[in-house]
Amino acid sequence: MRNSKKSSTDRQAILASLKARQKAKQRKWNVLVYGGFGLLLAAIAAAVAISVTGSIQEKNAAAEAAKRPIEGIQTYPGLAGKHVQGPVSYPHEPGAGGDHSATWSNCGVYTEPISEERAVHSLEHGAVWLTYNSSLTPAGINELTALAKDKPYVLLSPVKDQAAPVTATAWGAQLTLQNTDDSRIPAFINAYVQSPNAPEPGAPCTGGADG
Of 55-64, 103-112, 185-194, the poorest mean pLDDT is in 55-64
Structural domain spans, the chain = 1-67, 74-192
> What percent of the chain shows pLDDT beyond 70?
68
pLDDT digits (tens, 9 = 90+) for 130-169: 999 999 999 999 999 999 999 999 999 999 999 999 999 9
Q: What is the pTM (predicted TM-score) of this model?
A: 0.70
The residue that leads in pLDDT, 12 or 122, is: 122
> Are the C-beta atoms of 116 and 142 separated by less than 8 Å?
no
| Domain at 74-192, CATH class | alpha beta
The residue that leads in pLDDT, 130 or 15, is: 130
> Are the C-beta atoms of 154 and 189 separated by less than 8 Å?
yes
Q: What pLDDT sits at residue 9?
A: 61
Question: What is the C-alpha to C-alpha distance for residues 131 and 87, in angstroms, rounded to an integer?
Answer: 19
End-to-end CA distance of the chain: 100
In sequence order, the β-bridge partners of residue 158 are 132
Question: What is the C-alpha to C-alpha distance for residues 180 and 163, in angstroms, rounded to an integer?
Answer: 15
Question: What is the C-alpha to C-alpha distance for residues 116 and 103, in angstroms, rounded to an integer?
Answer: 11
Residue 90, C-beta contacts closer than 8 angstroms, at least 6 positions apart: 96, 98, 116, 120
Query: Confidence class of residue 66 from pLDDT cuts 50, 70 and 90?
Result: very low
- Whether 73 has a pLDDT exceeding 80, the answer reads yes
Find the mean pLDDT for residues 32-46: 59
Cα 205–Cα 130–Cα 145 angle in degrees, nearest 5: 90
